[in-house]
């Protein structure tokens, strides 16, 4: 009976991310896959590296169902490790490279990490500190020579390449855990499934507008959105060029030299490029698709980019709970003369169900604002160890994104506000509660409210509105440094305002809508 059941399970087994990676690497064995400095690595060489990495990890007892975490800046070895984790069915959790020691230690403990893979060029000291704080981690594996832990790259070199074989997993099995900030003051683990990962890649392949020949430049963090372009690029028979991070001139040099045809930018990166004094000195004409997302974009600046770079822009909207692509704004929808349309996050893709709902879970009248809610295979499994937050996120049988939007007559959505207090600055998420908890610990602070305010460069910047205790003078720089030390530079306020009192709602809670109105004025949308 069990054998028959197993055969039937396999008869209808879907394709999962590991199958897609293996297929992509086996398709174009002698074509360039990754550019590493001056060296070109073929798909065959990359496949062999992935095989050796997967064997090296298994030799340390890190296999199917094991929990592994990664702390690294962009480097090709991160891709080898990422693909090996898929082949091994290892659950992976990336750590935010700009995160604080305390937050990273919390994440490692919360997800139950057995191993930490780290970048020895940038995070050896941090790995040592984490070893002191999280003694339950059994293995510290460096992506290259290091005096601490074990060199994973060297260990991989001791194995001979073997054929890659996809693991036997189920659609609802836990594939990875990504962490975002939380309203409770602690990051929360977003549990992704193999179903969700396969659905995201399917939508990217079916709905996204790729160049005929894909030469993709990764300059956004592989710990976040950058990793999502790995598999689609290889499935398209394309190649990846990996930069450690975003440097505008290095970006433009690389596009020109490698004749890059596609990349992904967050709005802040695009603004920096447009404002760079050498922008017109580089030939960027090879770019055919610039994917952008992670934060709301300025319609005026997007119009400028289209006029200067051409009709090459493609927007995606999603979130970690429903990754990457709930809606898209296609190239042909980017009319530089239609600023209203450029404020849209696009139309829902046909692979998910999207509705604008009120607080009772009912559809709002057409044209009225409602929360973007989603049903479909993209959705997360839930929040790790947080059943109440999971139930709240899935209220009324929908995933609630926290973004409030209205729809026009053509089905385009326009995000006008956030139901949650979330701030998106430079493409990174900041949850005010986490920042408020740090600032309120200062002995001179009576009350604090943290909000997002419009910022020309970052889209939104973090502002702390503080009530000082009577007779106490507080140096704003001291509060900013406190947050930077406890949470990292992304969460640190860019500015601090002191007020006599913070407005309260009828329920006696801080009225952030009233507080934000002072800074947002009569703007049509409360996101930027």
Same domain, 407 and 458: no
Paired tokens of 299: 């319609």
Same domain, 406 and 509: no
Domain final residue pick, 137, 158, 186: 186
H or E stretch covering 518: helix 512-520
State the residue range of the domain holding 458. 423-520
Kindly tell me the burial class for residue 360, based on how many C-beta atoms sit within 10 Å of its own C-beta (0-12, 13-18, 19 or more).
exposed
HSE at residue 169, side-chain half, CA atoms within 13 A, is: 28
For residue 321, pLDDT over 90 is answered with yes
Task: Give the pLDDT band (50/70/90) at residue 2.
Answer: very low
Q: Once rounded to an integer, what is the mean pLDDT over residues 6-32?
A: 87
Residue 52 lies in a domain: yes
| DSSP H helices in 327-431 | 339-342, 387-393
pLDDT tens across 375-392, in order?
A: 999 999 999 999 999 999
Residue 523 has pLDDT above 80, yes or no: no
Q: Does 214 map to a domain?
A: no
Q: Where are the alpha helices (DSSP H) in 406-475?
A: 432-439
- 391 and 431 belong to one structural domain: no
Rounded CA gap, 331 and 311, in Å? Answer: 6
421 pLDDT higher than 80: no
CATH code for position 412: 3.40.50.12780
**Residue 115 to residue 63: CA distance in whole angstroms:** 11
Residue 168 CB partners (closer than 8 Å, separation 6+): 10
Query: Rounded to whole angstroms, how far apart are CA atoms 85 and 62?
Result: 9
Tally of domains in the chain: 3
Q: Determine contact, residues 118/149, Cβ cutoff 8 Å.
A: yes
Question: Is 223 a member of any domain?
Answer: no
Q: 3-class secondary structure for 258-304?
A: HCCCEEEECHHHHHHHHHCCCHHHCCCCCCCEEEECCCCCCHHHHHH
Q: What is the mean pLDDT of residues 70-94?
A: 93
With a cut of 80, say whether residue 427 has pLDDT above it. no
Residues 461 and 341 placed together within one structural domain of the fold: no
The region that residue 298 occupies, defined by phi over 0 for left and psi between -120 and 50 for alpha, beta otherwise, is beta
pTM of the model: 0.83
pLDDT in tens, 146-169: 999 999 999 999 999 999 999 999
Which pLDDT does position 430 carry in this prediction?
83
User: Are 432 and 313 part of one and the same domain?
Assistant: no
Q: Cα-flanking dihedrals φ and ψ of residue 7, to 5°? A: -65, -40
Structure tokens at 331: 């190239």
Which two structure tokens, joined as six digits, stand for 8? Answer: 């039937």
Pairing assessment for the beta strands 313-319 and 322-329 based on DSSP bridges = antiparallel
In a domain, 431, yes or no: yes
Q: What is the mean pLDDT of the chain?
A: 90
Q: What is the CATH number of the domain that holds 171?
A: 3.40.50.980
Last residue of a domain, one of 351, 383, 418: 418
Q: Which residues are CB-contacts of 72 (< 8 A; sequence separation ≥ 6)?
A: 78, 97, 117, 118, 119, 122, 123, 143, 222, 223
């Amino acid at each position: 009976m069990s054998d028959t059941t197993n055969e039937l399970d396999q008869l209808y087994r879907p394709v999962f991310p590991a199958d897609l990676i293996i297929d992509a690497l086996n398709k174009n064995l002698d074509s360039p896959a990754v550019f590493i400095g001056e060296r070109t690595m073929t798909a065959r060489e990359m496949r062999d590296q992935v095989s050796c990495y997967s064997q090296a990890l298994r030799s340390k007892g890190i296999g199917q169902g094991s929990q592994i975490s990664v702390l690294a800046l962009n480097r090709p070895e991160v891709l080898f490790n990422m693909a090996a984790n898929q082949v091994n069915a290892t659950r992976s959790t990336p750590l935010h490279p700009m995160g604080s020691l305390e937050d990273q230690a919390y994440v490692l403990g919360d997800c139950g990490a057995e191993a930490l893979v780290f970048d020895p060029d940038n995070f050896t000291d941090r790995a040592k500190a984490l070893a002191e704080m999280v003694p339950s981690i059994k293995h510290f594996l460096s992506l290259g020579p290091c005096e601490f832990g074990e060199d994973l790259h060297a260990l991989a070199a001791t194995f001979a390449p073997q054929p890659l074989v996809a693991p036997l997993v189920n659609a609802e099995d836990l594939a990875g855990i990504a962490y975002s900030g939380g309203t409770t003051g602690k990051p929360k683990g977003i549990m992704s499934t193999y179903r969700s990962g396969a659905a995201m890649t399917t939508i990217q392949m079916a709905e996204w507008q790729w160049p005929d020949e894909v030469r993709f430049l990764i300059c956004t963090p592989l710990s976040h959105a950058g990793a999502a372009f790995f598999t689609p690029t290889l499935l398209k028979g394309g190649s990846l060029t990996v930069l450690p991070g975003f440097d505008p001139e290095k970006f433009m040099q690389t596009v020109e030299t490698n004749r890059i045809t596609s990349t992904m930018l967050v709005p802040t990166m695009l603004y920096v490029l447009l404002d760079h004094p050498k922008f017109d000195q580089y030939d960027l004409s090879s770019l055919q698709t610039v994917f952008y997302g992670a934060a709301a974009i300025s319609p005026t600046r997007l119009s400028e980019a289209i006029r200067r770079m051409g009709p090459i822009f493609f927007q995606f909207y999603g979130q970690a709970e429903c990754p990457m692509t709930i809606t898209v704004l296609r190239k042909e929808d980017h009319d530089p003369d239609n600023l209203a349309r450029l404020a849209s996050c696009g139309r829902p893709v046909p692979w998910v169900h999207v509705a604008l709902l009120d607080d009772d879970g009912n559809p709002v009248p057409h044209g009225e604002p409602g929360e973007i809610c989603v049903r479909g295979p993209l959705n997360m499994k839930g929040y790790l160890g947080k059943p109440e937050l999971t139930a709240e996120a899935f209220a009324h049988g929908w995933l609630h994104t926290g973004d409030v939007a209205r729809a026009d007559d053509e089905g385009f959505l326009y995000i006008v506000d956030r139901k949650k207090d979330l701030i998106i600055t430079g493409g990174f998420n900041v949850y005010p509660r986490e920042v408020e908890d740090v600032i309120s610990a200062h002995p001179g602070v009576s009350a604090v409210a943290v909000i997002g305010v419009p910022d020309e460069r970052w889209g939104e910047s973090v502002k702390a509105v503080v009530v000082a205790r009577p007779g106490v003078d507080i140096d704003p720089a001291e509060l900013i440094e406190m947050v930077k030390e406890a949470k990292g530079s992304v969460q640190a306020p860019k500015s601090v305002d002191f007020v006599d009192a913070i407005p309260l709602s009828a329920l006696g809670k801080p009225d952030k809508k009233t507080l934000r109105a002072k800074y947002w004025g009569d703007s049509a949308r409360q996101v930027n």
